[in-house]
Amino acid sequence: MHNMEFGECIVLGGSDHQILMVDCGSMNSRIQETEETVYDYIEKGILPRYEEAEGRSFLLTHYHRDHISGLFYILEAAPYFFDRIYLPATPVDSQGRALLLEIAVYIFTFWGRKSEYFQTSIVPLRIFENLRRIVGSEAVYTLGRGSTFLFDDVEYDVLWPAWEHYPFSETLIDIVEELDVCLSSPYSGRKAAKFLRLKEKFCQEYVYCCELCSEETRGQPAEIERAMDRLQDCLEQLEDLSEDLHKLPCSQDVIEILSRPSMRNEYSHQQNTASIVFHNYRQQEASYNDILMTGDATPETFDTIAEDLYDGYYIFKAPHHGTSGNWSHIFQDIAKSHILISNGDYHAAGMVCGEYQEEEGIKHCTNRYACAWFLENGYCCNHMCECFEYQERGGAPKKCPKCKGHSRAADCGIYVISGQSERGCLCDILESEAW
């Protein structure tokens, strides 16, 4: 688990010298621990670390900056670094509408091009074209509920997001309806009507691209190329239409809706809710292969997939950097040997949820200053835990060779990595030893 500050980059290593990188991004420009920029760390730390791997795949859980910004930097520096790139399928409701995508189209067409809001929101709209240009369409795959993929001879099941009949919130449904009403008036003119038709066509083509790029329903290469061509053509038409739409009186109503803090918060929340959640397929009994990856999934997500979760995991990735808003009561009924918490120093970030401190599992945290327990007590809550991987009979985590700053590997094989160190789970070890 790499220290990306308030971001995420978790790499699964295979016994056959392959890696699966799950997300790579950050909300920060610098890493506090080393004072180097995030992109310098990617260039000098992440890329060299895995360049000798015999196979490299990337899985994006969702399109927020703190999960994807590093991917684009990697692809700019080394376009063919990844053999495969997995993307989340865009979900559609019972009427076949991709509401998250529709909002992104509104932002793309009506919002200022230079704003961070614009740049962040349009990433999914251009993702197919950008990846096709850099790595080729043959390397792009989509994942949704029911999808499976293989890594290190372990089969993984994707639990979320649902492809169809997706349960968007009533708030999000109302937002899209209000936006559509702004342009549906007969007084809005032909340009507004054309926009609505193009928006619908773009979303239909996007959903079709997701289907064609799925492992289960993968299309022929030429078919995928044609679909991506049509998708790009729609987007170019929307861009050409943008200037005329801004001249319409209704455009101010659209901008006002898009400007509302409540709308932005709901849009961001629903993007988190649609994060990819996956775990290994458990063939028989519990094992060291039991791992749950959660992206920024929300409590609503876990309520929906509760029956699909195992009663315990060797590795449990805390959703949304371990913050309180994404804690689910369901976690209390799941045993966890190791908990991964990627948090950092960011002004809009949340602290690590106190419920994790009460867990018996060993916590692996990238940043101790996001932990209220540490700030109050001056030491890590892992002191109260027992690490059963240590030697034969287990023991306190502080006895782990990695936590003591030794070169010998940790028995659990889980590390927090930065430009300065490769350390174990304890976050209160001496700076001279590992920080």
Residue 224 in this model has a pLDDT that exceeds 60? yes
The larger pLDDT score, comparing residue 414 to residue 390, is at 414
Tell me what the pLDDT averaged over the chain comes to: 91
User: Closest by alpha carbon to 195, among 145, 256, 251?
Assistant: 251
| Rounded alpha-carbon distances, angstroms, from residue 64 to 27, 170, 254, 393 | 9, 22, 23, 42
Grade residue 58 by pLDDT with cuts at 50, 70 and 90.
very high
In a domain, 77, yes or no: no
Residue 339 in this model has a pLDDT that exceeds 70? yes
Structure tokens at 393: 């009979």
Task: Give the pLDDT of residue 118.
Answer: 81
Please tell me the distance from the alpha carbon of residue 114 to that of residue 100, in angstroms, as a whole number.
Answer: 21
Residue 343 in this model has a pLDDT that exceeds 60? yes
Q: Does the bond joining 221 to the residue before it have cis omega, within 30 degrees of 0?
A: no
In a domain, 378, yes or no: yes
The larger pLDDT score, comparing residue 386 to residue 89, is at 89
Identify the bridge partners of residue 57 per DSSP, sorted by sequence position.
Answer: 20, 84
Residue 435 in this model has a pLDDT that exceeds 70? no
Q: What is the distance, to the nearest Å, from the Cα of residue 395 to the centroid of all Cα atoms in its chain?
A: 34
Please tell me the distance from the alpha carbon of residue 234 to that of residue 240, in angstroms, as a whole number.
Answer: 10
In a domain, 78, yes or no: no
User: Closest by alpha carbon to 317, among 364, 269, 371?
Assistant: 364
Domain span including residue 275: 93-423
In a domain, 20, yes or no: no
Residue 233 in this model has a pLDDT that exceeds 90? yes
Please count the structural domains in the chain.
1
Residue appearing with tokens 């290190």: 152
Please tell me the distance from the alpha carbon of residue 52 to that of residue 64, in angstroms, as a whole number.
Answer: 29
| Vertex 378: Cα angle to 375 and 381 (nearest 5) | 90
Residue 431 in this model has a pLDDT that exceeds 90? no
Task: Give the pLDDT of residue 186.
Answer: 79
In a domain, 428, yes or no: no
Q: Looking at 11-163, list the stretches that DSSP marks H as alpha helix, in order from N- to C-terminal side.
A: 38-41, 47-50, 65-77, 99-110, 116-121, 123-134
CB 364 within 8 A of CB 425: yes
CB 332 within 8 A of CB 307: no
In a domain, 34, yes or no: no
Is the torsion defined by CA of 89, 94, 100, 102 positive or negative? positive
Residue 363 in this model has a pLDDT that exceeds 50? yes
In a domain, 23, yes or no: no
Q: What is the distance, to the nearest Å, from the Cα of residue 286 to the centroid of all Cα atoms in its chain?
A: 26
- What backbone torsions phi and psi does residue 343 show, to the nearest 5 degrees? -135, 170
Segment among 113-117, 292-296, 406-410 with least mean pLDDT = 113-117
pTM equals 0.94
Is the torsion defined by CA of 415, 416, 419, 421 positive or negative? negative
Residue 115 in this model has a pLDDT that exceeds 90? no
**Total residue count of the chain as it appears in this document:** 435
In a domain, 394, yes or no: yes
Structure tokens at 74: 């990697």
Grade residue 170 by pLDDT with cuts at 50, 70 and 90.
very high
Radius of gyration of the chain from Cα atoms?
A: 22
Task: Give the pLDDT of residue 16.
Answer: 78
> pLDDT (tens digit, 9 = 90+) per residue, 44-53?
999 999 999 9
